[in-house]
Structure 1
Amino acid sequence: MTTLRALECLVALVDEGSVTRAAASLQMSQPALSHQLASLEREIGTPMVQKLGRGVRVTAAGNAVADEARTALNAADRAVRLGRRVGAGASGKLRVACAETMTAWLLVPVLRQWRARRREVVIELSEHTSADRMVDLVTAGSVDLAVGPRPSTTDEHIEVLGEEEVVVVAPAGHAFAQRPAVPFGELASEPFVHYVTDNGLSAWVDHLAAQRGVVLDPMVRTRSPRTAAQLAAAGMGVTIVPVSALLLRPPGVVRALEPPVSRDVVVVVASPSDALAGAFVADLRKRGLPSDRHRH
């Protein structure tokens, strides 16, 4: 296989007009340059250089190869420079999976910052309702990192960003409005707005209820926590949602649980040493989780 070094030697010979000057321009010895040219001739099967009395002359085949070689060398140079920019976190593509409620709540300020400071970086964002599904995408190499609640299990690298509170939403005028916080047990007597099974909150809420010996009474199920909050506020029952789902505050009652309930917010990273992924996680840490206590 022809090497870039052999092509570089041929181009230098065409540009400099002599083996001596070509070798000097590449900071290599004349025998080494001649060896590269001979290797190129064997690969192509025709002479690249014709020896004259006091020098050499590039053949027609040599000039044709040199013209194409310039394109290959320029492409290789661009590839190296791009690799250096990506390695420095200044260019490239970062594929981010995010829990759907956390995009505006957590990612938007960092995404805005990256748009201003890292214009050569393209971010591909996908939103999901299951932390386990996002981990599957990380493991499969489909995304570079995932931001959301802690998955049920994974061998991938995890960094904890903090905790997100989970709260109760009920219709306006509900008895919960008279309380600063709602004991979880009191949800058992209420019609409950639950989640479809492919939303990770479905199993999480059921596990939480089982831990407290509570049997919930689902009246309706939805895929989106934001929709669950709106349905509860509209009188369809009560629900529990992460505070990240409450950027648009529903018109109903929002109260903390008693005792308080929260869940980890984590980043699952495919390659912690990757410059872009590492910089993104560092900016998430620096920004921190939004304060949620003012919401209820």
Structure 2
Amino acid sequence: MPTLRALECFVATVETGSITGAAAKLHLSQPALSHQIAMLENELGSPLLERLPRGVRPTSAGREALPSARAALDAADRVVQAGRAALDEGELRIGCAGSMTAGLLAPLLRNWRRRHRKIRLVLQERSSADELAAMVTNDEIDVAICPRPTRWDGALELLASEEVVIVFATDDPLGDQPGPVPISALHGYPVIQYAGPHGLAGWLDGLFREHQVSPEVVIRTRQTTTAPALAAAGLGAAVVPVSGIPAGFTGSVHRLDPPQARDVVALMAGRSDVLVQQFVGSLRETGLRIPAAVLRQLEARTDGARSGR
């Protein structure tokens, strides 16, 4: 039986008159959209689109199937809208990068629960954006909050840009300076790295390669929030997103030179789920909260560096 996604791709291609336009409209890659249409044509046993030098047009079979495809999509949308609007109950499955739970989700969830008491929230935390993206694709979760994954063909909303900083123990000699820490200073320096599939492991390796830096990796961790704790204990420096620094952190926090940041995004299979859209909108409004003590440290060190010039 044809999937709603395949029907949506077919209708969008007819309405826009091109694979490129339909892919942009549905926030899909062109190969992913073409694959959906090919699956639909195989299911129906007939070509639905005629490829032209510029764009596409429906075949006779495509024109015959188009009204029914639109009707099926309209019916599915009415089911979703009626279910959400009339009942406002059910389950919202959220996936989140572990470091972002406290800084992004926690401030929102209390107020969200007050407004949606009949909605059951299910939270799953992971350390890899690619793993969270796969969970959305496989319908294991409704929305993922994470950095940008390596590849994503579904809907995406930019929520924030998060600064990536470096932390030390208070008596660490490299951390005992007023301004940003040059990435080049980490060459041969003891650092805490992330393990295996953790998304930051590959990101950091790329950063070090870009700046031709080879630090001494003293330990690896799978947990973002563990890295600053190990740094504060004196094991070495840790490069960490600000959302991964816990409140009450006892070490020193510095910006990097050049400064580093990563996008925080929401990944969704599509944009038709009203509840998911409301949740993502609330996240965007709430924003990413940085612990006040961390923010004060960063601002004080920046001001100190300026006054020392």
The alignment's TM-score, normalised by the length of structure 1, stands at: 0.69
Supply the AA of the counterpart residue of 2:196: T
Report the equivalent of 2:223: 224
- 2:123 is aligned with 1:125: yes
Report the equivalent of 1:76: none
Report the equivalent of 2:152: 154
Cα distance in structure 2, aligned partners of 1:272 and 1:81: 15
- 2:240 is aligned with 1:251: no
Secondary structure at the aligned position of 1:178 is classed as coil
Cα distance in structure 1, aligned partners of 2:217 and 2:131: 24
1:294 to 282, 285, 296: 296
What do residues 154-194 of structure 1 show as CA deviations (whole Å, max 9, x unaligned)? 11211111111111111112222223210011111311111
Displaced runs of 4+ in structure 1, greater than 3 A?
80-83, 291-295
Cα distance in structure 1, aligned partners of 2:86 and 2:287: 23
Equivalent residue runs for 1:31-70 within 5 Å = none
- 2:70 is aligned with 1:97: no
Secondary structure at the aligned position of 1:236 is classed as coil
Q: Is the CA contact 2:252–2:297 (under 8 Å) kept in the aligned structure 1?
A: no
- 2:99 is aligned with 1:115: no
CA apart distance, 1:132? 0.4
What do residues 93-116 of structure 1 show as CA deviations (whole Å, max 9, x unaligned)? 110000111111101122111110
- 2:283 is aligned with 1:284: yes
Cα distance in structure 2, aligned partners of 1:130 and 1:147: 11
The percent of aligned pairs where both chains have the same amino acid is 39
Secondary structure at the aligned position of 2:283 is classed as helix
Report the equivalent of 1:260: 259
Q: Is the CA contact 1:145–1:277 (under 8 Å) kept in the aligned structure 2?
A: yes
Supply the AA of the counterpart residue of 1:258: D
CA-atom RMSD in angstroms = 2.0
| Unpaired stretches in structure 2, ≥5 consecutive residues | 1-77, 299-309
Cα distance in structure 2, aligned partners of 1:89 and 1:228: 43
Supply the AA of the counterpart residue of 2:172: H
Cα distance in structure 1, aligned partners of 2:129 and 2:290: 22
Report the equivalent of 2:166: 168
Q: Is the CA contact 2:135–2:141 (under 8 Å) kept in the aligned structure 1?
A: yes
Report the equivalent of 2:241: 242
- 2:183 is aligned with 1:184: yes
Cα distance in structure 2, aligned partners of 1:89 and 1:282: 20
Equivalent residue runs for 1:131-146 within 5 Å = 131-146=129-144
Cα distance in structure 2, aligned partners of 1:83 and 1:210: 49
Cα distance in structure 1, aligned partners of 2:101 and 2:263: 16
Cα distance in structure 2, aligned partners of 1:82 and 1:140: 19
- 2:212 is aligned with 1:210: no
Secondary structure at the aligned position of 2:158 is classed as strand
Supply the AA of the counterpart residue of 2:109: L
Cα distance in structure 2, aligned partners of 1:186 and 1:249: 27
What do residues 69-101 of structure 1 show as CA deviations (whole Å, max 9, x unaligned)? xxxxxxxxxxx9997352468222110000111
Shift of the 276–82 alpha-carbon distance from structure 1 to 2, 3 Å rule, reads closer
Q: Is the CA contact 1:89–1:279 (under 8 Å) kept in the aligned structure 2?
A: no
Shift of the 83–266 alpha-carbon distance from structure 1 to 2, 3 Å rule, reads closer
Cα distance in structure 2, aligned partners of 1:223 and 1:89: 40
Supply the AA of the counterpart residue of 2:246: L
Report the equivalent of 1:4: none
Cα distance in structure 1, aligned partners of 2:80 and 2:273: 15
Q: Is the CA contact 1:271–1:277 (under 8 Å) kept in the aligned structure 2?
A: no
Q: Is the CA contact 1:88–1:275 (under 8 Å) kept in the aligned structure 2?
A: no
Cα distance in structure 1, aligned partners of 2:87 and 2:290: 29
Shift of the 81–202 alpha-carbon distance from structure 1 to 2, 3 Å rule, reads closer
Cα distance in structure 2, aligned partners of 1:213 and 1:183: 12
CA apart distance, 1:291? 4.6
Equivalent pairs, count? 217
Point out the more displaced range, 135-144 or 215-224: 215-224
Cα distance in structure 1, aligned partners of 2:281 and 2:290: 19
Report the equivalent of 2:197: 198
Secondary structure at the aligned position of 1:218 is classed as strand
Shift of the 102–89 alpha-carbon distance from structure 1 to 2, 3 Å rule, reads farther
Shift of the 82–212 alpha-carbon distance from structure 1 to 2, 3 Å rule, reads closer
The alignment's TM-score, normalised by the length of structure 2, stands at: 0.66
Cα distance in structure 2, aligned partners of 1:285 and 1:89: 25
